[in-house]
Amino acid sequence: MSKNQYNSHLSISSNRYNTHLLLDDSGIKVVTPELVELVLKKLTNAGALALSFFRWAEKQQGFEHTTGIYNALIDSLGKIKQFQLIWDIVYCMMRKGILTNETFGLIMRRYARARRSGDAVDAFEKMERYGLRQELFDLNCLLGTLCKSKNARKAQDVFDEMVKTRKRFVPDVKTYAVLLEGWGEARNLVMLKEVYREMRDDGTVEPDVVVYGIIIGAYCKCGKYNEALELLREMEGNGKCKPSAHVYCTLINGLGSEMRLGEALEIFERAKEAVSPLGIPTYNAVVGSYCWSMRFNDAYQMVEEMRRNSVGPNSRTYDIIIHHLIRVNRTEEAYFLFQRMAGDFGCEPNLNTYAMIVRMLCQEVERVDLAIQVWDQMKDNGVVPGMHMFASLVNSLCHECKLDDACRYFQEMLDLGIRPPGRLYDNLKEALLDNGKVDEAISIGEKLDNIRKCPWTG
What does the pLDDT read at residue 455? 58
pTM here? Answer: 0.84
Q: Are 179 and 156 in contact (CB under 8 A)?
A: yes
Q: Tell me the C-alpha distance between 319 and 50, whole Å.
A: 28
Tell me what the pLDDT averaged over the chain comes to. Answer: 92
The size of the chain, in residues, is 458
* Strand partners for 47: none
Residue 420: predicted pLDDT? 87
Read off the pLDDT of each residue in 218-234 and give the average, rounded to a whole number. Answer: 94
Beta bridge partners of 61: 30
Task: Name the 3-class secondary structure at 61.
Answer: strand
Average pLDDT score over residue span 362-371: 92
- 330-359 pLDDT, tens digit per residue, is 999 999 999 999 888 889 999 999 999 999
pLDDT of 9 strictly over 60: no
Range scoring the smallest mean pLDDT among 46-55, 86-95, 326-335? 46-55
Q: Express each pLDDT in 391-414 by its tens digit.
A: 999 999 999 999 999 999 999 888
Task: Identify the sign of the CA torsion 375, 376, 382, 387.
Answer: positive
Per-residue pLDDT band for 239 (boundaries 50, 70, 90) equals confident
**Does 451 score more than 80 pLDDT?**
no
pLDDT in tens, 252-275: 999 999 999 999 999 999 999 999
* pLDDT score at 8: 45
Using alpha carbons only, give the angle 368, 372, 373 rounded to the nearest 5 degrees: 120
Rounded average pLDDT over 443-456: 76
For residue 30, the 8-state DSSP code is B
State which amino acid sits at residue 65: H
30 forms bridges with which residues in the sheet? 61
Cβ atoms 126, 138 nearer than 8 A: no
d(CA 113, CA 81): 10
Q: Which run of H or E residues covers position 110?
A: helix 101-113
Range list of H helices, 26-82 = 33-42, 47-58, 67-79
Q: Is the pLDDT of residue 10 over 60?
A: no
